[in-house]
């Protein structure tokens, strides 16, 4: 019932607004019933971030949708280019574009600047960047899986996945000092080394997740209610995914082997021979529904484990940065001139940064940030077509939207209780980091 | 897909309209070295749809973003496209650069060829005041609909005043509630 | 029985029902939390919630049909509490025995659902309207199997000739398990299963919580309700849980343990009452808590089809077996 008819290959992937309205009126004339508007957002329990989706609904069925974003626009690029910040300060800004992919944006940004200024990155630093970004992918995919379960009304699965996710956050805290905003990449290297004493803890986490992955696959993919709610829901056909330039797991679930790490590798990624994962790797025929997106994300957790394992085993020795002194780096960057692109496969898809530096100015002339959700936004239109109201949250969630990332805004999360002061919380987090490091 | 192949197709189809081009190979990898090729080409603005159509003919085409920049007399747009994903190391990044005079900041929309370019073209309309004839929707994506300025223009006389107003507005509001006490 | 005694008993039952309902809600939340590896709220949390809601401001939206919007919470509470008076409480028969029968209880259980749906329609919010539509679809889906179960039991009882068959009190005093043959026992078991499936639907709990569906329609029916009105719905829901679980107990497991333990008099009554509370609690945990922890929310068409085809067929199968049993036994 919920499955939408396959698209006519001659139809445009995005129907014009007027056409949708006309079809709606024709339906009313044909006695299918009136159409009314259901607004979802900007504030809605299913959306963790502000976005407004206005649905035109007949009964329980969606006949049209309007998407309005920008409720969280911070003008980060403007702040980076036009308010006299130097590049190190902009690096901090780039880290705060998104709380979840908080290493993806700096990785893309530092690469762009390194290309523009011609800075080499030592091999060990490249490996460390890869390890941190793959750990981040694990935590982000588990976070998503929990949110998806919650959207389906399956809170037990939410609690299970989020409990499991704590382990990778602990490892990230152990390696970088923070649960999010790791502040690892810097122009020409990384800020912290991974020491041999830390290896065993990472190995232990890898073993932990290896054992759990099968359980998670079982809990998500073989649960009849989850299957009933996700099979055939929110279908994105391969042609649509290609024409609308979808990225990341959203595109891969439709069967496109599109992964930046594979297609145009960067950093140390050629060493790991990353292959884009589609549901076909799990023995399924990809149809691009929500179920396929769950499959892809969970399999990618396993892929990330492989990459981290390989990286730990082959870690090159040597320096972690080509500019140990920040003033020297700043002086070099001030003289540099050029333009560059930096890209990275974030958990949600392709992140791309474009920068242009001019000699004699320590700030950027041009900075353009593209977050994955930016590319995936349009794929919502075909996904919502002809679905039911009940499917809205899971379809909205299935591209793993990071609205703030797209709008480029930072969310401040406050402490557990009001009575905790900022200093107390800070002390608490220090204590925890120390406890982990012991 | 190789970069030369892409370049050949571009030069054959565009001819004079391809003003200049440059290959920027990039060596990546630590133990297994691989070269990723980037093409940076300058194209006349009326030839943008043609260039995109040529690239689309070469393989699956992806548009990452259109970057923009106010270069004084002109507005510079950079189309960051990627041709031919799906094979290991087989994607070529193509950046098409074009300049629009400020007196007539228009460039034909490529949404007809690549529907996925809609969001980024709409973003350029609101941020840089560029117009894309032929774009299906032109409402704002990120900024309020009634914003009087195009924030990325450097010659916007209203912008300074507007920013000043924003700062004043923030000062005027009690911010105690938002500062984590 | 004097009038004053009835009033006194009624007051006791209403008060007790409310307290038990809220307390069980707390236990339900605690157990669900434990199953999800959380700590969970303290047991008294539902009482605190209710108290808090009662002191909060009650807002009536401008777009709402005010009188309907405000009347519905009261209707829901009155209907659910009235149902308590027709429920046998362990050793004690229903307070209003003889003034109405099991069919009335069915209606009293349906009234709060209707009241919520009307309240949703009256709230003037599109989300409320969607929730109300869903509530009505649910109502027509689960009401039929529920009625089939009740009618099957009452009919079988009437064939045994043991007084007014449609009285819950009589049904509870004469458990059918011992009075029917093997076919009948199988039929009863099937009916019990269908009733247990209907229970979470009747109470709108996951996987059947679509009228509220927090992540979909932001609370649906209740999206515009606040303060006192929301508190009333909350109370009605807690009481309905007791009624529904009590109904399952009365129909299928009305046994006491005082007799086998050899107790007499007041002690027997106290023990049986406690045992009854335990049974109600067990039914609630089985049909509501574990189910809502272990499943995702279904969609309205899946629920409607599931009830119409599968659960109704199941209940009718049970009825058929009881009929066959009567034919065989006769």
Q: Is the minimum CB–CB distance between C136 and chain A shorter than 8 Å?
A: no
Chain A contacts in chain C segment 29-58 (CB below 8 A): 35-38
Give how far A2 is from chain C: nearest CA, Å.
Answer: 9
| pLDDT the model gives residue A110 | 92
Instruction: Give per-residue pLDDT as tens, A195-234.
Output: 888 888 899 899 999 988 888 888 888 888 888 888 888 8
Helices (H) and strands (E) in chain C, counts: 14, 0
| pLDDT the model gives residue A134 | 92
Instruction: Give per-residue pLDDT as tens, C232-289.
Output: 988 998 998 888 888 888 888 887 777 677 777 777 788 888 888 888 888 888 888 8
- CB-nearest to A163 from C37, C127, C213 is C37
Substitution target from B88, B121, B126, B128 for chain A, most A beta carbons within 10 A: B88
Question: Residue A402 pLDDT > 70, yes or no?
Answer: no
Q: Are A404 and A92 in contact (CB under 8 A)?
A: no
Residue A242 and residue B91: Cβ atoms within 8 Å?
no
Show residues of chain A in contact with B134, CB under 8 Å. Answer: none
A349 Cβ contact list (under 8 Å, min separation 6): A246, A247, A248, A249, A250, A251, A372, A375, A376
| Residue A436 or C19, more confident | C19
Chain B contacts in chain A segment 94-133 (CB below 8 A): 115, 123, 126-127
Instruction: Give per-residue pLDDT as tens, A348-376.
Output: 888 899 988 888 888 888 888 888 888 88
Chain B neighbours, 3+ Cβ pairs < 8 A: A
Show residues of chain A in contact with B28, CB under 8 Å. Answer: 265-270
Q: Sign of the CA dihedral A286, A292, A293, A294? A: negative
Provide the mean pLDDT of chain C.
82
H/E stretch holding B97: strand B92-101
Quickly state the pLDDT bin for A51 (edges 50, 70, 90).
confident
| pLDDT the model gives residue B181 | 33
Question: Residue A399 pLDDT > 70, yes or no?
Answer: no
CB count in 10 Å sphere of residue C70: 17
End-to-end CA distance of chain C: 39
Residue B116 and residue A375: Cβ atoms within 8 Å?
yes
Residue C216 and residue A152: Cβ atoms within 8 Å?
no
Q: Is the minimum CB–CB distance between A265 and chain B shorter than 8 Å?
A: yes
According to DSSP, residue B27 is labeled E
Residue C299 and residue A59: Cβ atoms within 8 Å?
no
Question: Residue B169 pLDDT > 50, yes or no?
Answer: yes
Query: Which residues are paired to A186 by β-bridges?
Result: A189
Instruction: Give per-residue pLDDT as tens, B39-55.
Output: 899 998 888 888 888 88
Give how far B126 is from chain A: nearest CA, Å.
Answer: 12
Q: Sign of the CA dihedral C94, C96, C100, C103? A: negative
Residue C216 and residue A389: Cβ atoms within 8 Å?
yes
Give how far A61 is from chain C: nearest CA, Å.
Answer: 11
Which range scores top for mean pLDDT: A37-46, C140-149, C173-182?
Answer: C140-149
Instruction: Give per-residue pLDDT as tens, B76-131.
Output: 999 999 888 877 778 888 999 999 888 888 899 888 888 888 888 888 888 888 88
Sheet holding A52-58, edge to edge: A36-40, A52-58, A61-68
Q: Sign of the CA dihedral C195, C197, C200, C203? A: negative
Residue A267 and residue B28: Cβ atoms within 8 Å?
yes
Instruction: Give per-residue pLDDT as tens, A155-179.
Output: 888 888 888 888 898 888 888 888 8
Question: Residue A414 pLDDT > 60, yes or no?
Answer: no
Quickly state the pLDDT bin for C99 (edges 50, 70, 90).
low
Give how far A142 is from chain C: nearest CA, Å.
Answer: 17
As a whole number of angstroms, the distance between CA B129 and CA B147 comes to 12
A335 lies in a domain? yes
Instruction: Give per-residue pLDDT as tens, B3-20.
Output: 888 888 888 888 888 888
Quickly state the pLDDT bin for A412 (edges 50, 70, 90).
very low
**Number of residues written out for chain C:** 330
Mean pLDDT (whole number) for A250-278: 87
C-alpha pair distances (Å), B36 with each of B5, B39, B92: 14, 10, 7
- CB-nearest to B93 from A270, A271, A341 is A341
Chain A neighbours, 3+ Cβ pairs < 8 A: B, C
Q: Are B24 and B37 in contact (CB under 8 A)?
A: yes
Q: Is the minimum CB–CB distance between C2 and chain A shorter than 8 Å?
A: no
Show residues of chain B in contact with A414, CB under 8 Å. Answer: 180
Give how far B135 is from chain A: nearest CA, Å.
Answer: 11
- Tokens matching residue A48: 């963790």
- Tokens matching residue A193: 């080394």
- Closest to C250 in 3D by CA, of C147, C180, C150, C145: C150
A66 lies in a domain? no
Instruction: Give per-residue pLDDT as tens, C157-166.
Output: 777 776 676 7
- Closest to C211 in 3D by CA, of C146, C273, C131: C131
Do the two chains C and A touch, given a threshold of 8 Å on CB pairs and at least 3 pairs? yes
A/C interface, count of CB pairs below 8 Å: 87
Q: Is the minimum CB–CB distance between A426 and chain B shorter than 8 Å?
A: no
- CB-nearest to A390 from C38, C210, C219 is C210
- Closest to A35 in 3D by CA, of A20, A47, A25, A49: A25
List the single residue in A with minimal CA-CA distance to B181. Answer: A421
A61 Cβ contact list (under 8 Å, min separation 6): A386, A387, A388, A389
Domain extent for A174: 76-376+400-437
Residue C299 and residue A37: Cβ atoms within 8 Å?
no
As a whole number of angstroms, the distance between CA A258 and CA C161 comes to 74
Place of tokens 């209940």: C315
Question: Residue A410 pLDDT > 60, yes or no?
Answer: no
Residue B26 and residue A263: Cβ atoms within 8 Å?
no
Chain A contacts in chain C segment 210-249 (CB below 8 A): 210, 213-219
As a whole number of angstroms, the distance between CA A407 and CA C260 comes to 71
| pLDDT the model gives residue A1 | 42
- Tokens matching residue C202: 């009747």
Give the residue extent of every domain in chain C: 3-329
Residues from A contacting C (CB-CB < 8 Å) are 1-2, 36-39, 44-46, 57, 59-60, 149-157, 159-160, 163, 223, 225-226, 228-229, 388-393
CB count in 10 Å sphere of residue B34: 16
| Residue C329 or B134, more confident | B134
Place of tokens 């920008």: A70
Residue B28 and residue A270: Cβ atoms within 8 Å?
yes
Q: Sign of the CA dihedral A160, A164, A169, A170? A: positive
Residue C300 and residue A225: Cβ atoms within 8 Å?
no
CA angle B129, B134, B139 (to 5 degrees): 50
Query: How many CA within 13 A on the CB side of residue A168?
Result: 27
Quickly state the pLDDT bin for A416 (edges 50, 70, 90).
very low
pTM of the predicted protein model: 0.81
A337 Cβ contact list (under 8 Å, min separation 6): A116, A357, A358, A359
Instruction: Give per-residue pLDDT as tens, B55-76.
Output: 888 888 888 889 888 888 888 9
- Closest to A255 in 3D by CA, of A239, A274, A238: A238
Mean pLDDT (whole number) for A336-354: 89
A188: domain CATH number?
1.10.645.10
Mean pLDDT lowest among A51-55, A128-132, C109-113, C189-193? A51-55
As a whole number of angstroms, the distance between CA B144 and CA B124 comes to 14
Place of tokens 């004699």: A360
Crossing angle of helices A104-117 and A87-95, rounded to 10°: 150
Residue A75 and residue B88: Cβ atoms within 8 Å?
no
Provide the mean pLDDT of chain B.
82
| pLDDT the model gives residue C1 | 53
As a whole number of angstroms, the distance between CA C31 and CA C20 comes to 16
| Domains, chain B, with CATH or none | 3-142 (3.30.460.80)
Residue A60 and residue C301: Cβ atoms within 8 Å?
yes
| pLDDT the model gives residue A304 | 92
Show residues of chain C in contact with A159, CB under 8 Å. Answer: 36-38
Quickly state the pLDDT bin for A62 (edges 50, 70, 90).
confident
Give how far B13 is from chain A: nearest CA, Å.
Answer: 22
3-state helix, strand, coil in chain C (%, to 5): 75, 0, 25
Mean pLDDT lowest among A18-22, A101-105, A236-240, C35-39? A18-22
Instruction: Give per-residue pLDDT as tens, C5-52.
Output: 778 877 888 888 888 889 888 998 888 888 888 888 888 889 999 999
A384 lies in a domain? no
A283 Cβ contact list (under 8 Å, min separation 6): none
Show residues of chain A in contact with B95, CB under 8 Å. Answer: 341
Helices (H) and strands (E) in chain A, counts: 18, 8
| pLDDT the model gives residue B27 | 84
C-alpha pair distances (Å), B126 with each of A222, A320, A377, B168: 46, 42, 17, 24
According to DSSP, residue A357 is labeled E
Residue B116 and residue A69: Cβ atoms within 8 Å?
no
Q: Is the minimum CB–CB distance between A210 and chain B shorter than 8 Å?
A: no
Question: Residue C222 pLDDT > 50, yes or no?
Answer: yes
Quickly state the pLDDT bin for B176 (edges 50, 70, 90).
very low
Provide the mean pLDDT of chain A.
82
Residue C296 and residue A390: Cβ atoms within 8 Å?
no
Chain B contacts in chain A segment 129-168 (CB below 8 A): none
As a whole number of angstroms, the distance between CA C196 and CA C291 comes to 10
| pLDDT the model gives residue A413 | 35
As a whole number of angstroms, the distance between CA A216 and CA C112 comes to 39
Give how far B46 is from chain A: nearest CA, Å.
Answer: 22
Task: DSSP for A22-43, please give it.
Answer: HHHHHHHHTTS---EEEEE-SS
Question: Residue A417 pLDDT > 50, yes or no?
Answer: no
**Percentage of chain C exceeding pLDDT 70:** 95
- CB-nearest to A377 from B78, B119, B181 is B119
Our count of domains for chain A comes to: 1
Residue B140 and residue A127: Cβ atoms within 8 Å?
no
Mean pLDDT (whole number) for A281-286: 83
Q: Are B95 and B82 in contact (CB under 8 A)?
A: no
């Amino acid at each position: 019932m919920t499955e939408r008819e396959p698209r006519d290959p001659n139809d445009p992937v995005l129907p014009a607004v007027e056409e949708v309205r006309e079809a709606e009126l024709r339906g009313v004339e044909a006695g299918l019933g009136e159409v009314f508007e259901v607004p979802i957002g900007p504030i809605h329990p299913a959306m963790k971030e502000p976005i407004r989706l206005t649905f035109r609904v007949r009964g329980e069925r969606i006949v049209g949708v309007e998407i309005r974003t920008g409720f969280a626009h911070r003008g980060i690029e403007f702040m980076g280019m036009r308010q006299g910040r130097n590049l190190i300060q902009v690096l901090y800004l780039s880290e705060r574009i998104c709380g979840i992919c908080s290493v993806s944006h700096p990785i893309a940004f530092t690469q762009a600047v390194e290309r523009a200024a011609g800075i080499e990155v030592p091999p060990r630093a490249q490996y460390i960047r890869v390890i941190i970004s793959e750990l981040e992918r694990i935590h982000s995919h588990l976070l998503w899986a929990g949110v998806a379960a919650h959207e389906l009304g399956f809170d037990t699965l939410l609690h299970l996945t989020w409990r499991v996710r704590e382990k990778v956050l602990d490892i990230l805290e152990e390696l970088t000092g923070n649960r999010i905003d790791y502040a690892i990449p810097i122009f020409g290297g990384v800020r912290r080394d991974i020491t041999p004493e830390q290896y065993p803890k990472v190995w232990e986490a890898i073993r932990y997740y290896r054992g759990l992955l099968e359980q998670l696959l079982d809990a998500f993919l073989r649960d009849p209610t989850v299957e009933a709610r996700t099979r055939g829901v929110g279908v994105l056909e391969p042609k649509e995914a290609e024409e609308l330039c979808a990225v990341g797991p959203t595109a891969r679930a439709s069967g496109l082997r599109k992964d930046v790490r594979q297609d145009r590798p960067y950093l140390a990624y050629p060493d790991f021979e990353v292959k884009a994962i589609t549901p076909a790797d799990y023995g399924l025929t990809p149809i691009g529904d929500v179920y396929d997106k769950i499959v892809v994300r969970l399999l990618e957790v396993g892929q990330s484990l492989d990459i981290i394992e390989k990286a730990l085993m082959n870690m090159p020795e040597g320096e972690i940065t080509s500019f140990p002194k920040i003033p020297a780096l700043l002086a070099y960057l001030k003289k540099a001139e050029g333009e560059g692109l930096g890209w990275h496969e974030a958990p949600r898809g392709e992140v791309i940064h474009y920068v242009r530096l001019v000699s004699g100015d320590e700030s950027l002339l041009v900075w353009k940030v593209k977050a994955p959700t930016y590319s995936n936004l349009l794929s919502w239109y075909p996904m919502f077509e002809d679905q039911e109201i009940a499917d809205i949250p899971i379809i909205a969630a299935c591209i793993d939207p990071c609205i703030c990332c797209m709008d480029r805004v930072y969310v401040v999360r406050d402490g557990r209780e009001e009575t905790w002061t900022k200093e107390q919380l800070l002390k608490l987090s220090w204590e925890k980091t120390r406890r982990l490091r012991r | 897909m190789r970069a030369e192949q892409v370049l050949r197709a571009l030069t054959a189809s565009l001819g004079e309209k391809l003003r200049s081009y440059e290959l920027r190979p990039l060596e990546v990898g630590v133990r297994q070295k691989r070269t990723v090729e980037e093409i940076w080409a300058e194209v006349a603005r009326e030839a943008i749809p043609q260039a995109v159509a040529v690239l689309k003919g070469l393989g699956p085409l992806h548009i990452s973003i259109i970057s923009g920049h106010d270069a004084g007399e002109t507005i510079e747009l950079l189309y960051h496209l990627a041709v031919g994903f799906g094979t290991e190391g087989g994607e070529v990044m193509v950046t098409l650069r074009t300049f629009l005079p400020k007196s007539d900041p228009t460039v034909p929309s490529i949404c007809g060829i690549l529907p996925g370019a809609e969001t980024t073209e709409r973003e350029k309309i609101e941020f840089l005041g560029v117009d894309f004839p032929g774009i299906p929707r032109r409402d704002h994506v990120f900024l309020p609909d009634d914003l009087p300025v195009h924030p990325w223009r450097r010659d916007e006389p209203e912008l300074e005043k507007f920013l000043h107003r924003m700062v004043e507005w923030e000062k005027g509001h009690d911010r105690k509630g938002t500062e984590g006490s | 029985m004097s009038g004053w005694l009835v009033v006194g008993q009624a007051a006791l039952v209403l008060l007790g029902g409310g307290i038990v309902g809220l307390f069980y809600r707390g236990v339900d939340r605690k157990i669900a939390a434990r199953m999800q590896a959380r700590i969970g709220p303290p047991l008294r949390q539902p009482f605190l919630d209710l108290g808090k809601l009662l002191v909060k401001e009650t807002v009536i939206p401008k777009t709402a049909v005010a009188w309907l919007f405000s009347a519905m919470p009261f209707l829901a509470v009155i209907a659910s509490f009235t149902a308590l008076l027709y429920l046998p409480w362990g050793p004690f028969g229903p307070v209003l025995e003889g003034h109405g029968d099991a069919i009335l209880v069915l209606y009293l259980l349906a009234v709060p659902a209707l009241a919520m749906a009307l309240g949703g329609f009256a709230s003037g919010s599109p989300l409320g309207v969607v929730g109300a539509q869903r509530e009505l679809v649910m109502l027509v889906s689960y009401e039929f199997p529920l009625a089939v179960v009740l009618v099957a039991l009452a009919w079988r009882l009437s064939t045994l000739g043991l007084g007014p068959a449609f009285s819950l009190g009589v049904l509870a005093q004469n458990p059918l398990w011992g009075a029917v043959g093997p076919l009948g026992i199988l039929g009863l078991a099937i009916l019990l299963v269908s009733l247990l499936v209907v229970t979470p639907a009747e109470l709108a709990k996951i996987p059947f919580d679509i009228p509220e569906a927090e992540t979909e329609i932001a609370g649906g029916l209740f999206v515009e309700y606040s303060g006192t009105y929301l508190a009333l719905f909350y109370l009605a829901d807690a009481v309905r849980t007791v009624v529904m679980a009590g109904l399952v107990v009365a129909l299928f497991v009305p046994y006491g343990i005082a007799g086998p333990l050899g107790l007499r008099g007041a002690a027997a009554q106290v023990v049986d009452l406690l045992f009854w509370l335990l049974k109600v609690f067990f039914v609630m945990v089985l049909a509501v808590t574990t189910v809502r922890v272990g499943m995702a929310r279904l969609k309205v068409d899946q629920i409607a089809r599931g009830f119409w085809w599968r659960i109704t067929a199941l209940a009718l199968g049970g009825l058929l077996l009881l009929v066959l049993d009567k034919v065989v036994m006769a």
